[in-house]
């Protein structure tokens, strides 16, 4: 019997270890995919910024050409310049249609878009004075945008192309029929054009570089949060492997103790002594609880929706969880306020049950005389609020709430309970918050989507997954 129990424990531990490794590989793959999605989203937003900038360039060129020819009577090849403008409009319409959805935008595609803008600007400058046109400094806008948006080698391509364009304009483009009358100061048309070019450059750079840098900051923050979550999930996986290994090691001595206690119960020395017989019965009860905890660890290390779940209802699940937690806990006064009117079928998940018990255990340590658990459903969310009459959370604990080893208890390994609670809730699509109450004590609020544990939702999810696999 002992050999069979040990072999079964070995099998459970091996299964838990294998599942944990699969979860680690899956988490790594999901993390890489999420990071790729964040980068793709930033690239798409940057392309949208270039499209908007190109529409502004179209409006600016139309306005400048109209004012130069109609107001200042500058001789310009209107037909050719309008043809260049039409090509730019057609390209921007095609870009708008191409990038209207959140698709992947590569560095090469951004480089191509900027090269088209450089080519359009070069054609317009060639037709309107070349290097003598005061708007030649708009090339700097393309260079600065490339330095922000592109990889380093691509930026140097833009620098080389724009430099070659300016040199080519100086060599081959006829000069602008505009007097360089600098003595007139600000009244000089050339100086006015340079001033207008500077204002346009500065305004467009401030507007669009600010937007692009906002995109960069948002992407950086998302990537940092993703790295933090990946590190926390990796930490949880390591803890799961250690816990399953410890459970595996404890299986054999617990099975041995169960056999010994069973033998003691039938010995004449214990049968004739009711007090010793009661002690043996209590020891067997506590031993069964230890074995149940060990089995729960092994099951929780496996699939939370497969091995460690069972069909029940929401009210029954909460009642059973509270009853199991209260057994053996020295709480003086415990208030369970259940405000769930519409009961529903859910899965009785051991991981979720352990998460609730962890929150109650932390509150019990702070306030052994009074606890309150309030359960309600609000807009499809299961809301669990645990309040106590303890000293509350220190400010530094609240600032780092849910981080590992963030505890005021001062013992090694402290702070893992709430860390696991926050990560389990996040896995289920929920959130955990904490605050200190004005009248004293603390309140921990767990908000979980009911669809995460509802049986109908889970069955539909499985069906969708099977259809996707097919």
In tens, the pLDDT along 372-406 reads 999 998 888 899 999 999 888 888 888 777 666 55
Instruction: Assess whether 460 and 326 both reside in one domain.
Output: yes
H-helix or E-strand spanning residue 222: helix 189-265
What residues contact residue 247 under an 8 Å CB cut-off, 6+ apart? 9, 12, 13, 16, 294, 295, 297, 298
pLDDT category at 365 given cuts 50, 70, 90 is: confident
> Residue 387: which domain range?
311-469
Are 46 and 104 contacting, i.e. CB atoms less than 8 angstroms apart? Answer: no
Identify whether 287 is part of a domain.
no
Instruction: Assess whether 225 and 370 both reside in one domain.
Output: no
**Last residue of a domain, which of 176, 201, 230?**
230
Find where tokens 């059973």 sit.
320
pLDDT digits (tens, 9 = 90+) for 253-280: 877 888 888 888 888 888 788 888 888 8
Instruction: Assess whether 217 and 317 both reside in one domain.
Output: no
Instruction: Assess whether 337 and 214 both reside in one domain.
Output: no
pLDDT at 470 over 60: no
For the chain, the domain total comes to 2
Instruction: Assess whether 322 and 207 both reside in one domain.
Output: no
Q: Which of these ranges, 122-126, 186-190, 354-358, has the smallest mean pLDDT?
A: 186-190
Token readout for 54 is: 């190109």
- Sequence-distant contacts of 24-27: CB under 8 A, at least 24 apart: 24/234, 24/237, 27/230, 27/233, 27/234, 27/237
Token readout for 375 is: 């359960």
Identify whether 391 is part of a domain.
yes
**Last residue of a domain, which of 200, 230, 260?**
230
Q: For residue 115, report the phi and psi dihedrals to the nearest 5 degrees.
A: -65, -35
Identify whether 141 is part of a domain.
yes
Identify whether 255 is part of a domain.
no
Token readout for 366 is: 């702070």
Instruction: Assess whether 29 and 148 both reside in one domain.
Output: yes
pLDDT at 308 over 70: no
For residues 301 and 317, give the distance between their C-alpha atoms in angstroms, rounded to a whole number. 21
Identify whether 296 is part of a domain.
no
Are 135 and 178 contacting, i.e. CB atoms less than 8 angstroms apart? Answer: no
For residues 121 and 145, give the distance between their C-alpha atoms in angstroms, rounded to a whole number. 15
E strands, 268-369, are 311-313, 333-338, 345-347
Identify whether 222 is part of a domain.
yes
Identify whether 79 is part of a domain.
yes
For residues 187 and 192, give the distance between their C-alpha atoms in angstroms, rounded to a whole number. 7
pTM of the model: 0.50
pLDDT at 89 over 50: yes
Q: State the average pLDDT over residues 327-343.
A: 84
Are 346 and 457 contacting, i.e. CB atoms less than 8 angstroms apart? Answer: no
Domain with residue 397: its CATH number is 3.30.565.10
How many Cα neighbours within 13 Å face the side chain of 390?
A: 21
Would you state the pLDDT for residue 445?
Answer: 92
Instruction: Assess whether 319 and 213 both reside in one domain.
Output: no
Would you state the pLDDT for residue 85?
Answer: 93
Identify whether 451 is part of a domain.
yes
Q: For residue 383, report the phi and psi dihedrals to the nearest 5 degrees.
A: -110, 120
Instruction: Assess whether 26 and 137 both reside in one domain.
Output: yes
Instruction: Assess whether 221 and 329 both reside in one domain.
Output: no
pLDDT digits (tens, 9 = 90+) for 41-82: 677 788 888 999 899 989 988 998 888 888 877 788 889 999
Instruction: Return the SS3 of 58.
Output: helix
**If 0-12 CB within 10 Å is exposed, 13-18 middle and 19+ buried, where does residue 239 land?**
middle
Q: State the average pLDDT over residues 206-214.
A: 85
For residues 336 and 309, give the distance between their C-alpha atoms in angstroms, rounded to a whole number. 24
Task: Return the percentage of the chain with pLDDT > 70, whole number.
Answer: 73
**Last residue of a domain, which of 171, 196, 230?**
230
Q: State the average pLDDT over residues 460-464.
A: 45
Instruction: Assess whether 223 and 317 both reside in one domain.
Output: no
Are 280 and 264 contacting, i.e. CB atoms less than 8 angstroms apart? Answer: yes
Instruction: Assess whether 212 and 345 both reside in one domain.
Output: no
Query: Which of the two residues, 189 and 27, has the higher pLDDT score?
Result: 189
Average pLDDT of the chain is 77
């Amino acid at each position: 019997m002992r050999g069979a129990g040990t072999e079964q424990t070995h099998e459970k531990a091996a299964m838990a270890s294998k599942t944990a490794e699969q979860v680690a590989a899956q988490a790594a793959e999901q993390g890489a995919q999420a990071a790729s999605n964040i980068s793709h989203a930033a690239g798409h937003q940057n392309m949208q910024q270039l499209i908007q900038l190109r529409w502004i360039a179209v409006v600016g060129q139309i306005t400048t050409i109209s004012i130069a020819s109609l107001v200042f009577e500058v001789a310009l090849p209107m037909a050719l310049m309008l043809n260049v403008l039409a090509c730019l409009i057609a390209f921007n319409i095609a870009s708008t249609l191409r990038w209207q959805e959140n698709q992947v935008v590569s560095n090469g595609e951004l480089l191509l878009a900027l090269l088209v803008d450089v080519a359009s600007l070069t054609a317009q400058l060639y037709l309107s004075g070349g290097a003598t046109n005061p708007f030649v400094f708009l090339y700097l806008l393309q260079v600065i945008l490339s330095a922000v948006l592109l990889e380093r080698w691509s930026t140097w391509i833009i620098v080389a192309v724009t430099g070659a364009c300016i040199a080519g304009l100086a060599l081959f483009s006829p000069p602008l029929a505009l007097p360089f009358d600098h003595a007139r100061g600000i009244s000089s048309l050339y100086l006015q054009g340079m001033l207008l070019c500077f204002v346009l450059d500065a305004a467009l750079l401030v507007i669009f570089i600010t937007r692009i840098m906002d995109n960069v900051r948002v992407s950086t923050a998302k990537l940092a949060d993703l790295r933090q979550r990946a590190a926390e999930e990796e930490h949880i996986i390591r803890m799961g492997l250690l816990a399953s290994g410890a459970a595996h090691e404890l299986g054999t001595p617990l099975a041995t103790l169960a056999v010994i206690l069973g033998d003691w119960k039938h010995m004449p020395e214990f049968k004739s002594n009711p007090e010793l017989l009661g002690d043996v019965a209590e020891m067997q009860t506590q031993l069964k609880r230890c074995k149940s905890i060990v089995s729960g660890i092994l099951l929780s290390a496996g699939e939370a929706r497969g091995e460690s779940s069972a069909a029940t209802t929401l009210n029954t699940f909460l009642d059973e969880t509270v009853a199991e937690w209260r057994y053996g806990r020295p709480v003086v006064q415990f208030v369970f306020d259940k405000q769930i009117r519409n009961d529903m079928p859910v899965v009785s998940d051991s991981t979720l049950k352990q998460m609730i018990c962890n929150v109650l255990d932390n509150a019990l340590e702070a306030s052994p005389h009074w606890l309150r658990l309030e359960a309600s459903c609000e807009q499809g969310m299961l809301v669990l609020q645990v309040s106590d009459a303890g000293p509350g959370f220190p400010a530094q604990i609240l600032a780092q709430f849910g981080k590992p080893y963030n505890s005021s208890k001062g013992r090694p390994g402290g702070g893992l309970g709430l860390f696991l609670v926050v990560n389990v809730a996040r896995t289920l699509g929920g959130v955990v918050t904490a605050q200190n109450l004005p009248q004293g004590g603390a309140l921990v609020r767990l908000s979980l989507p009911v669809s995460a544990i509802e049986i109908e939702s889970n069955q539909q999810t499985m069906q969708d997954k099977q259809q996707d696999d097919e």
